[in-house]
């Protein structure tokens, strides 16, 4: 009885709201949302096809491609709205900053920017007409890079991963088609280092089609073009030897490279991976200690450094003995570093009066930007700045090659952690100080 009465009251209330002009909006159904996304995708495809027709006309008339897509207006493209993707939430701007058109609102990335035109034209020479000429990244869920919309040099529209060169079979339409295209590309561009990463790609395709003789010949051919001073070139060779199950040759390759480049982290990492796969765990760990900053110091005294802070005052780890210290290798230009900063500030405020402090090692080049950031965000702890970026004497001393890198050092000067960041940072500090964490 009560339920029937409640339904009657609710019905009367809804009728009253409708009669008063108040509209109750329903939550969009998933099917409606999908239909909207699909509609935007189809509109974007149409836009790109229209842009393709305009570029083709421009190219036929001028013998070159436009510098900007806005150059197509109005002779080759009547409607400026064609240059706007319906899913654009960036005020008529390409998501890639350098690709933002300076003349008109344009959502699409024009690949033939002056700064990269030569490289893109070389890519077209290597991979053919499937090479993207215009790209759209506006209608991907959660900023996914899996389904970027592309207009190719062949004026075809297709969706592909942002790193389309890793998905050639799908784009070319089959394994044999991809093999033929790469073989043709290497005939035209046999010695261009920008495309050496495609040698392992072609080798995998040969293996997948049981063309082992072609695979062997490809390796020998690649050996003739390697730059003996470029470790990445040897990395591609190592990948090919591994794919061919020539594991002893792969190991020998990196051992020889280690003799030439004993501190090269890529070589050391490859050797670690090889020994790990072979079950040589202790040897793998030894190699890892050689290239992971701080790993060799865990539980040991951290070597001291001597420098001056931003105010010109001497600073060293030794001077902080008796405190738990976080050494933060960071930079203003480093997105993850800036994202971590609120957490770092929080733990600093919580434990600064309990025996905790921070030393910032800035890898910035611009002192003004660094000082402005420190002032605007009220960062109180001392900073070491050389202006040399990755060549900062302190970062080089400790072999830092990625930031943020955050070392937590105990009161005696021993390293507690070489990756003290995120959710675990506060509990690490509290444990080192022998106090109760603030969050508990």
Tens digit of each residue's pLDDT (9 = 90 or more) over 13-66: 444 433 444 333 444 454 544 455 577 889 999 999 999 999 999 999 999 999
Q: Return the pLDDT at 180.
A: 98
Q: How does strand 314-315 pair with strand 307-308?
A: antiparallel
Q: Return the pLDDT at 98.
A: 82
The CA-CA-CA angle for residues 361, 364, 368, to 5°, reads 110
What angle do helix axes 247-260 and 231-243 make, rounded to 10 degrees?
160
Q: Return the pLDDT at 24.
A: 38
End-to-end Cα spacing for the chain = 50
- The more confident residue out of 410 and 99 is 410
Distance CA 55, CA 112 (A): 12
Write the CB contacts of 139 (distance below 8 Å, at least 6 apart in sequence): 37, 40, 41, 44, 85, 86, 87, 149
Write the CB contacts of 219 (distance below 8 Å, at least 6 apart in sequence): 203, 237, 240, 241, 244
189-215 average pLDDT score: 96
Count CB-CB contacts under 10 A for residue 439. Answer: 10
Q: Using alpha carbons, select from 31, 38, 36 the residue that is nearest to residue 159.
A: 38
Burial level of 314, CB count in 10 A (0-12/13-18/19+)? Answer: exposed
Q: Using alpha carbons, select from 165, 107, 167 the residue that is nearest to residue 139.
A: 107
Distance CA 233, CA 348 (A): 44
Count CB-CB contacts under 10 A for residue 93. Answer: 16
Q: Return the pLDDT at 144.
A: 62
Task: Record the pTM.
Answer: 0.73
Residue 12 has pLDDT above 80, yes or no: no
pLDDT band at residue 96 using 50, 70 and 90 as cut-offs: confident
Distance CA 146, CA 132 (A): 15
Write the CB contacts of 17 (distance below 8 Å, at least 6 apart in sequence): 24
Residue 382 φ/ψ, nearest 5 degrees: -70, 150
At residue 298, the 3 state secondary structure works out as strand
Distance CA 182, CA 128 (A): 9
159 beta partners = 149
Domains contained in the chain, CATH given: 32-166 (no CATH), 175-295 (1.25.40.10), 307-433 (3.40.30.10)
Give the burial string for 22-40 (b: 16+ CB within 10 Å, else e).
Answer: eeeeeeeeeeeeeeeeeeb
Q: Using alpha carbons, select from 136, 181, 127, 177 the residue that is nearest to residue 160.
A: 136
Residues 245-283 have pLDDT tens digits of: 999 999 999 999 999 999 999 999 999 999 999 999 999
Averaged pLDDT of the chain: 89
Per-residue CA distances from 131 to 64, 135, 191, 200 (Å): 16, 10, 19, 19
- The more confident residue out of 228 and 51 is 51
State which of 89-98, 117-126, 426-435 shows the largest mean pLDDT. 117-126
Residue 71 φ/ψ, nearest 5 degrees: -65, -15
Are the CB atoms for 206 and 217 separated by under 8 Å?
Answer: no
**What would the two tokens of residue 335 be?**
């997105």
């Amino acid at each position: 009885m009560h339920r029937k009465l409640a339904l009657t009251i609710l019905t009367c209330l809804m009728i009253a709201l409708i009669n008063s002009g108040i509209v109750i909006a329903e939550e969009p159904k998933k099917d409606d949302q999908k239909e909207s996304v699909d509609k935007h995708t189809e509109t974007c495809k149409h836009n790109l096809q229209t842009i393709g027709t305009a570029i083709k006309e421009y190219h036929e008339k001028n013998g070159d491609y436009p510098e900007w897509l806005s150059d197509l207006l109005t002779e080759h493209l009547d409607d400026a709205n064609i240059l706007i993707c319906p899913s654009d939430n960036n005020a008529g701007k390409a998501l890639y900053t350098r690709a933002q058109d300076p003349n008109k609102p344009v959502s699409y990335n024009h690949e033939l920017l002056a700064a990269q035109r030569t490289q893109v034209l070389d890519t077209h020479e290597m991979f053919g007409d499937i090479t993207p000429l215009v790209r759209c990244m506006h209608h991907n869920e959660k900023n996914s890079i899996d389904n970027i919309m592309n207009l190719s040099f062949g004026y075809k529209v297709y969706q592909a991963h942002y790193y389309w060169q890793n998905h050639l079979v799908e784009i070319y339409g089959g394994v044999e088609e991809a093999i033929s295209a790469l073989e043709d590309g290497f005939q035209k561009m046999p010695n261009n280092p920008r495309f050496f990463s495609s040698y392992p790609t072609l080798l995998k395709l040969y293996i997948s089609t049981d063309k082992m003789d072609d695979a062997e010949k490809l390796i020998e051919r690649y050996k003739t073009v390697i730059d003996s001073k470029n470790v990445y070139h040897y990395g591609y060779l190592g990948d090919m030897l591994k794919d061919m199950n020539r594991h002893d040759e792969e190991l020998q390759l990196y051992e020889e490279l280690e003799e030439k480049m004993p501190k090269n982290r890529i070589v050391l990492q490859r050797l670690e991976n090889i020994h790990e796969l072979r079950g040589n765990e202790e040897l793998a760990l030894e190699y890892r200690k050689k290239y992971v900053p701080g790993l060799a110091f865990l539980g040991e005294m951290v070597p001291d450094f001597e420098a001056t802070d931003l105010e010109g005052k001497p600073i060293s780890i030794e001077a902080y003995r008796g405190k738990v210290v976080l050494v933060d290798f960071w930079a203003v230009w480093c997105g993850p570093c800036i994202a971590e900063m609120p957490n770092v500030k929080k733990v600093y405020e919580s434990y600064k009066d309990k025996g905790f402090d921070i030393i910032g090692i800035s890898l910035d080049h611009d002192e003004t930007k660094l000082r402005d950031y420190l002032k605007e965000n009220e960062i109180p702890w001392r900073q070491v700045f050389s202006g040399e970026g990755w060549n900062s004497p302190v970062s080089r001393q400790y072999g830092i090659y990625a930031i943020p890198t955050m070392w937590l050092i105990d009161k005696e000067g021993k390293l507690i952690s070489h990756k003290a960041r995120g959710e675990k940072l506060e509990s690490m500090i509290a444990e080192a100080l022998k106090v109760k964490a603030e969050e508990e």
